[in-house]
Chains A and B, each alone.
Chain A
């Protein structure tokens, strides 16, 4: 299959400190690739290298076969993106902002392309207003418009749903999936929320402390362990005693217990039989931290002892 991006053993050093330790992966047309990791894991550094904002210390990043280091203009020609927040010139209108980016391309884009992307993100009505007055959602959409202006084959979105309301998040998510398939574009999305990634991505790569520790199809990753439930019951001491043969950790509003779905009824019976008052049993929406715990700390003792965030 054709590759859009090829990342070959990329390292980044700042001073003497190495913060990205040899990452390699490939992206294909039409797929949404999630880049998942806690804050500070190296997501943004990796993205900055992919768009040439930061130099690659070692290794290679090829976009449509062009190296971002030695062939910057040709490589970046095929990239569109939002790096962190979509910062625009606030004293200009949305339209004037887009014209700025349009003029930065050496080969003239078709005259109607700006209007096209404006329509695509649904900003027609307010495009001639100053960006100063835009809501975060509108800025986010304007950000996507500038990223799509030149029909890139790689779209890079750094935390695209940051600060959006649920409706906005859903909209962006659907939108990303649609354009990836329709335009056969590779989309590289970063986030620290697995729950968000699993709805949006075809594949997910997990980055931790500058290592890409795992790349999986989304289904594989999500299935591998959504077995935690939040249990809010009293008296707590007795509950702990009854659960002593299971893995659990205490959190603010109860216990997080590891249990398979079909084990749950039995568990609840067991507790009620011992006069435990059960207030809440909720399947945990797995956060990245949980995944990490499972992936990196298989030791039972460590699991039980680790304080929740």
Chain B
């Protein structure tokens, strides 16, 4: 299957960058630091409690996904390799899609690293606990939380990917996306008194709000948020694709 080989290409390019490994190491180090701090400053901490605490580090995996997404297209332009990439018998849209999928794959891998590291380090520091607490499958519950994180990760990655494709600048794409990631939710709060505020992307990105019953605007449901995210995703995808497809490559 040719598509598979295109994915392999992008995966090799991404994973062989030193930064890909470094980001994984940073993630594990952060979990370890959190574990050490928790063990030192608190008297009793339960294993599952720590694992849940550590999962909030998912923001870091989103950050890393933004970095990967923001540089995958722009770096081909800045290094000039785009010229050798686009003179092959492959339609541009396929190359673009392969790039995006691999970025998501990398983000998901980072989430796995985070989950794996927090389970291991939590177990080592606080001792493992049974799978079922009060008849709740704790691992299943954790998986559900992480699944919701993936939704958030995909939309931020798509945003960085689009900015990177349109402006061919990784620093702009990464900088702007991170800025929006941190300020977007606040700005949504400011617009909170308007009815349309719930259609703002950032009102919907945090999907765990439904799991924790802390919904931002009354009447919002998971289905609604997913629909809003999907709509934005389609816009980001179409803009990236059209710009990439039509671009005259002159680097």
Residues of A at under 8 Å CB distance from B? 14, 48, 51-55, 72-74, 76-77, 79, 81-92, 96, 99-101, 103-106, 146
Contacts and interface: CB of A to CB of B under 8 A. Distances in A.
Contacts of B85: 104
Contacts of A77: 89
B6 A103 contact: yes
B212 to A, nearest CB: 41
- How many B residues are at the interface, by size bracket? 20 to 34
Contact of B88 (A90, A92, A101): A101
A76 B89 contact: yes
Interface stretch (B7-15, B111-119, B218-226): B7-15
B90 interface: yes
Given A53-B249, A54-B248, A103-B6, A79 B12 contact: no
Contact of A96 (B12, B89, B246): B12
B91 A73 contact: yes
A92 B80 contact: no
Nearest to B4: A103
Contacts of B9: 100, 103-104
Contacts of A53: 83, 86-87, 248-250
B81 interface: yes
A49 B18 CA distance: 35
Contacts of A72: 89, 91
A13 B245 CA distance: 18
A48 B248 contact: yes
Nearest to A85: B80
Contacts of A104: 5-6, 9, 85, 88-90
4 nearest interchain CB pairs?
A87-B80, A104-B88, A53-B249, A103-B5
A48 B90 contact: no
A87 B90 contact: no
Contacts of B91: 72-73
A78 to B, nearest CB: 9
Interface string B69-86: 000000000011101111
A92 B18 CA distance: 11
A298 to B, nearest CB: 35
Given A53-B249, A104-B88, A106-B2, A91 B16 contact: yes
Given A53-B249, A89-B81, 8 more contacts: A52-B86, A53-B86, A83-B83, A84-B80, A86-B84, A91-B17, A92-B16, A106-B90
Given A87-B80, A88-B81, A54 B249 contact: yes
A103 B95 CA distance: 12
Contacts of A51: 87
Contacts of B81: 87-89
B88 A76 contact: yes
B73 to A, nearest CB: 14
Contacts of A74: 89
A129 B88 CA distance: 25
28 contacts: A14-B248, A48-B249, A48-B250, A51-B87, A54-B248, A54-B249, A55-B246, A55-B248, A72-B91, A74-B89, A77-B89, A81-B87, A83-B84, A84-B83, A87-B83, A88-B81, A89-B81, A91-B18, A92-B13, A92-B16, A96-B12, A96-B16, A100-B9, A103-B8, A103-B9, A104-B85, A105-B88, A146-B84
